[in-house]
Amino acid sequence: MNQSFYLFVLKFRGGQKKDMKSLFAESMFNQHDFPKAETSFDTLSKYIEELAHPDMSAVVFDELWEQYIEAIS
């Protein structure tokens, strides 16, 4: 079973306050309705576009998604 995107991104928590990936990870962690077990790009992308906190930008999501795909491949 592949690691979920959520678990992958948690490793970016605790970084510099101006680091966009750290801000994304912290916001994702604090957003209790984030789909934690999800591995589907479409589902996660839709969530980011429609429901996510402003610190969870689509640009940063795309960067993290690319890293996630490399890590699980």
Per-residue confidence (pLDDT) for residue 16, from 0 to 100? 83
Q: Which domains does the chain have, with CATH numbers?
A: 5-72 (1.10.150.260)
**Core vs surface per residue 38-48: b (16+ CB within 10 A) or e:** ebeeeebeebb
pLDDT < 70 positions in the chain: 1
> CB-based contacts of 68: which residues, under 8 Å, 6+ apart?
5, 8, 9
> CB-based contacts of 41: which residues, under 8 Å, 6+ apart?
65
